Amino acid sequence: MTSTTTLAAALPAEHRARLMRQAREVSFPAGTRLFEEGRRADRFWIVRTGTVVLDVHVPGRRAPVVESLGHGELVGWSWHFTPYVWQLGAEATSPVRAWEFDAAEVRDLCAADAEFGRAVATWVGRVVAHRLHATRIRLLDLYAPYGSGS
Amino acid sequence: MTDVPLPYRVIRVNRETADTVTLVLAPTGPATLAPFAPGQFAMVYAFGVGEIPVSVSRIDRHALRHTIRSVGAVSAALCALRPGSRVGLRGPFGTGWELGRAAGQDLLVVAGGIGLAPLRPLVLDALAARHRYGRLNLLVGARSPGDLLYAQQLRFWTAHRGLRHCAVTVDRSADGWWGHVGLVTTLLNHAEFAPDSTTAYLCGPEVMIRATARDLVHRGLSAQHIRVSLERNMRCATGHCGHCQLGGVLLCRDGPVIGWDRADPLLSVREL
């Protein structure tokens, strides 16, 4: 199975190999907070196994989960755009194995090689566009009576 | 098929969610409707109120089950029925899922909201004849955990060895929910199927059907092998009144299940 947003589908093999040379294999037990809203976005991950959820801080309430991410999916894109600050929080809800990347190192590679940088930007852009599209459909509240959102 | 409603008795009412019930119906006398196929529907008559189309959500030997969400006057009246109440039934109407045509293929079942109801008998039939098909994937989306239909059955299916992959997602999480959150199409990444040898069955809001069908076509499924169930205002259910017309298709007669190759152009125009 392929998805246009997975690394394998979105990055040409040469650039994918170059990016993966920057990867570290990491694992997190369930319940680990990967990052917090408002903190510096200095890393990102690609999930190998397990589930990471994205949540939004709501004062006085448990942070509601807005999206689940699984195998092959990118966790975090704020590292790619200034001011490099996380917009959401992230937590492992099961034992997670992932590839971890140092954001500054990858940004430096992108700056040094325009072609590689464009490929990475296209990949991240696809992920953002895909999640924006899915969020817009969810905004319709399509399961409401008549599916109208009214 | 009959044009005159046959009397059926409500023998049990299962509350599925806050606004949805399943009515278990049995004939009151020797006269009974012809056997239903998964995907077909009946016109269910709430006496004194009106009649609506409802797909069959389970087919037992002696009883029919219809899962109904209270969204209007007739469906509200049906949802308020108690065991012993009577309804009128006409049917069976329309095309079914035609599972038999997918023999030897992987099956991908994608349900959204109340759309799981017409797909349940298909899943049950596939599990009952597991050897006839390839991998069976069931992906279910709902608005929130409280809106999930057949929660107990879904838990059973999640652990069922006959299902290669059974996953549930909700648009809005809630306290105590540890499952997936996101659009149902995001579950496609985790399903296991060979695009060139898969038949997909979709039922749910048409926005969801469009998003899922287009994603599947992008992944390599042919439009003919994507079967979708559409819903329009059905009145006569016999192809005469034209209320359910969608382009050149009378959905009560030519549908509700049609191939995506026919549905895509019809759902792509702004107004028909």
Task: Give A142's contacts in chain B (Cβ within 8 Å).
Answer: 112-113, 171, 204-205, 207-208
Q: Greater confidence, B123 or B248?
A: B123
Q: What is the Cα–Cα distance from B203 to B104, expressed in whole angstroms?
A: 22
pLDDT, residue A144, reads 76
Q: Locate A70 and state its tokens.
A: 């699984």
Q: Mind listing the pLDDT tens digit for each residue in A121-143?
A: 999 999 999 999 889 888 887 78
pTM of the model: 0.89
**B-contacting residues in A 8-47 (Cβ below 8 Å):** none
Query: How far A36 CA lies from chain B's nearest CA (Å)?
Result: 19
- Asked if the Cβ–Cβ distance from B142 to A65 is below 8 Å, we say no
Q: Which of B188, B190, B208 sits opposite A142 (nearest CB)?
A: B208
Peptide bond into B92 cis (omega under 30): yes
Q: Mind listing the pLDDT tens digit for each residue in B46-91?
A: 999 999 999 999 998 889 999 999 999 999 999 999 999 999 999 8
Residue B103 carries which side chain, given as an amino acid letter?
A
Task: Give A134's contacts in chain B (Cβ within 8 Å).
Answer: 182-183, 185-186
Task: Give B219's contacts in chain A (Cβ within 8 Å).
Answer: 1-3
Chain B residue with minimal CA distance to A127?
B186
Query: How far B87 CA lies from chain A's nearest CA (Å)?
Result: 23
pLDDT, residue B233, reads 80
Q: Which of A2, A3, A68 sits opposite B181 (nearest CB)?
A: A68
- Residues 6+ away with beta carbon under 8 Å from A22: A101, A102, A105, A106, A109
Residue B33, helix vs strand vs coil: coil
pLDDT, residue B165, reads 86
Domain boundaries, chain B: 6-93, 99-268
pLDDT, residue B148, reads 93
- Asked if the Cβ–Cβ distance from A141 to B71 is below 8 Å, we say no
Give the residue from B74, B147, B180 with the most A CB atoms within 10 Å of its CB, the best one to mutate. Answer: B180
Q: Which fold does the domain B6-93 belong to in CATH?
A: Elongation Factor Tu (Ef-tu); domain 3 (2.40.30)
Q: Mind listing the pLDDT tens digit for each residue in A65-88?
A: 999 999 999 999 999 999 999 999
Q: What is the dihedral of CA A105, A111, A116, A119, to 10 degrees?
A: 100
Q: Mind listing the pLDDT tens digit for each residue in B116-165?
A: 999 999 999 999 999 999 999 999 999 999 999 998 999 899 888 888 88
Query: How far B81 CA lies from chain A's nearest CA (Å)?
Result: 20
Mean pLDDT over all residues of chain B? 91
Residue A115, helix vs strand vs coil: helix
Task: Give A143's contacts in chain B (Cβ within 8 Å).
Answer: 112-114, 141-143, 147, 171, 204-205
Domain boundaries, chain A: 14-142
Residue A22 carries which side chain, given as an amino acid letter?
Q
**Spatial CA neighbour of B6 closest among B41, B26, B32:** B32
Q: Is the pLDDT at A29 greater than 60, yes or no?
A: yes
Q: Locate B246 and state its tokens.
A: 């969608």
- Asked if the Cβ–Cβ distance from B189 to A73 is below 8 Å, we say yes
Residue B7 carries which side chain, given as an amino acid letter?
P
Q: What is the Cα–Cα distance from B130 to A95, expressed in whole angstroms?
A: 32
Q: Which of A67, A72, A93 sits opposite B189 (nearest CB)?
A: A72
Distance of CA B30 to the CA centre of its chain: 28
What confidence tier does A150 reach under pLDDT thresholds 50, 70, 90?
Answer: very low
Mean pLDDT over all residues of chain A? 90
Q: Three-state SS across B48-117? A: CCEEEEEEEEEECCCCEEEEEECCCHHHHHHHCCCCCCEEEEEEEECECCCHHHHCCCEEEEEEEHHHHH
- Asked if the Cβ–Cβ distance from B182 to A68 is below 8 Å, we say yes
pLDDT, residue B2, reads 57
What number does CATH give the domain B99-268? 3.40.50.80
Q: What is the Cα–Cα distance from A147 to A125, expressed in whole angstroms?
A: 29
**Spatial CA neighbour of B219 closest among B199, B194, B202, B201:** B194
Question: Facing residues of A27 across strands?
Answer: A97
Query: How far A28 CA lies from chain B's nearest CA (Å)?
Result: 17
Of 2.60.40.3470, 2.60.40.1180, 1.10.260.40, 2.60.120.10, the CATH number of A14-142 is 2.60.120.10
Q: Which of B147, B211, B219 sits opposite A137 (nearest CB)?
A: B211
ipTM over the 0.85 cut-off: no
Q: Which of A2, A4, A145 sits opposite B71 (nearest CB)?
A: A145
Q: What is the dihedral of CA B194, B200, B205, B210, to 10 degrees?
A: 60
